[in-house]
């Protein structure tokens, strides 16, 4: 074809923010649940409205659920939740612990790679959003992106919701990057080793010997499990592998579930009921571990370390300790590196 007479342009100027076709970096996007922007009722209301509107989280018919959510729950719950956030808020950086540790995890993982890999982080609900950070990674020249949900055990309420948001964002892109989603790591040896190392470190520092080490997982409605959600099975396997690594019996380290919301039946036994029952039966010293959370958050720092501690002591218990989450420790960063390198195999 004669270029002089052709109507096809010989070159196109790249629009602002448009990825360069010569760029071929790999992106890794860590995604956790989310957090309000501030420990205030208005910020919590915005966050809960997004979170509790997700059909993956609450699957009731919209005609029933949304009037209840906007007419009752969002007018009552935010103030109390904001007060709980204030108890754990990181004043030095003006953010929640979940946001702080997720950022630290991304920075730690980035230090394990060179410039050909861009590591970023996002929240499923709230900011920074998955859509915004996918666009950022693409603008940084990432033609291939690994999305890593920071949920060790799979549930439709968490992992699947992240995947929904990822592909919703891709649906708005003219030029889509290649995307992989990392699978759950509930039985990954690096994850079990990290949990065991964290537990040993904390338990060795205690002035008392726990009579029980409660393995407390975030709960889901029982009917979600009955419908095929594998979450309970994943939690059970994590517990079994961790007990084996620590040489714990089922009796010493029972599995329980926390954070029940609403009136319907959730997975049991409940963490609070178990803790109270143990204290009433004469158990004086316990520790609690939360393997479904990789970062300390309102569920571990307020629900367990403050509220559950009070329940245990009011029922007659003496010593109560919460084992920290993996947070930004070297074990967590090594786990993330293991997952990232395995799931991006062949990309760089």
- Predicted model pTM: 0.92
Same domain, 68 and 205: no
Same domain, 47 and 193: no
pLDDT band at residue 225, thresholds of 50, 70 and 90?
A: very high
Same domain, 201 and 172: no
Q: What is the DSSP string of 236-298?
A: HHHHHHHHHHHT--TTTS-EEEE---SSS-BSSSBHHHHHHHHHHTT--EEEEE-TT-SS--H
For residues 41 and 313, give the distance between their C-alpha atoms in angstroms, rounded to a whole number: 30
Q: What is the DSSP string of 218-233?
A: E--BHHHHHTT--HHH
In this structure, is residue 348 part of a structural domain? no
Q: What is the per-residue pLDDT for 9? A: 36
Which DSSP state fits 205? T
Exposed / middle / buried, residue 121 (Cβ in 10 Å: 0-12, 13-18, 19+): buried
Same domain, 92 and 157: yes
Q: What is the CATH number of the domain that holds 103?
A: 3.40.50.1400
160-206 per-position pLDDT tens digit: 999 999 999 999 999 999 999 999 999 999 999 999 999 999 999 99
Same domain, 39 and 169: yes
Number of domains, the chain: 2
Query: Per-residue pLDDT for 230 more than 80?
Result: yes
Same domain, 193 and 140: no
289-335 per-position pLDDT tens digit: 999 999 999 999 999 999 999 999 999 999 999 999 999 999 999 99
| Beta-bridge partner residues of 30 | 121, 148
Same domain, 198 and 262: yes
In this structure, is residue 265 part of a structural domain? yes
**Are 324 and 287 in contact, with CB atoms under 8 Å apart?**
no
Same domain, 158 and 248: no
Same domain, 202 and 176: no
Same domain, 118 and 199: no
In this structure, is residue 8 part of a structural domain? no
Q: State the average pLDDT over residues 251-272.
A: 96
Structural domain harbouring 242? 189-322
């Amino acid at each position: 074809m004669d270029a002089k007479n052709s109507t096809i342009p010989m070159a196109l100027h790249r629009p602002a923010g448009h990825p360069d076709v010569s760029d071929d970096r790999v992106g890794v996007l860590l995604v956790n649940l989310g957090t309000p922007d501030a420990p205030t009722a208005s910020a919590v209301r915005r966050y809960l409205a997004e979170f509790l509107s997700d059909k993956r989280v609450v699957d009731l018919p919209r005609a029933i659920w949304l009037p209840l959510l906007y007419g009752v729950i969002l007018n009552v719950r935010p103030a109390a939740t904001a007060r709980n956030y204030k108890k754990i808020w990181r004043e030095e950086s003006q953010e929640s612990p979940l946001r702080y540790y997720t950022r630290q995890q991304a920075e730690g993982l980035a230090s394990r790679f060179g410039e050909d890999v861009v590591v970023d982080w996002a929240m499923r609900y709230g900011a920074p959003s998955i859509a915004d950070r996918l666009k950022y990674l693409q603008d940084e020249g990432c033609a291939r992106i690994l999305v890593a949900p920071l949920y060790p055990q799979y549930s439709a309420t968490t992992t699947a919701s992240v995947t929904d948001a990822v592909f919703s964002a891709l649906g708005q892109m003219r030029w889509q990057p290649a995307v992989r989603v990392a699978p759950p790591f509930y039985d990954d040896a690096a994850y079990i080793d990290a949990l065991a190392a964290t537990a040993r470190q904390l338990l060795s520092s205690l002035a008392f010997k726990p009579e029980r080490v409660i393995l407390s997982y975030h709960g889901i409605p029982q009917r979600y499990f009955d419908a095929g959600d594998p979450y309970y099975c994943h939690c059970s396997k994590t517990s079994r592998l961790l007990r084996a690594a620590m040489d714990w019996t089922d009796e010493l380290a029972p599995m329980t579930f926390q954070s029940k919301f609403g009136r319907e039946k959730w997975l049991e036994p409940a963490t609070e009921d178990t803790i109270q029952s143990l204290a009433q039966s004469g158990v004086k010293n316990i520790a609690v571990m939360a393997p479904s959370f990789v970062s300390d958050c309102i569920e571990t720092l307020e629900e367990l370390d403050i509220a559950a501690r009070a329940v245990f002591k009011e029922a007659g218990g003496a010593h109560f300790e919460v084992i920290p989450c993996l947070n930004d420790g070297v074990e967590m960063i090594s786990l993330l590196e293991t997952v990232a390198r395995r799931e991006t195999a062949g990309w760089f």
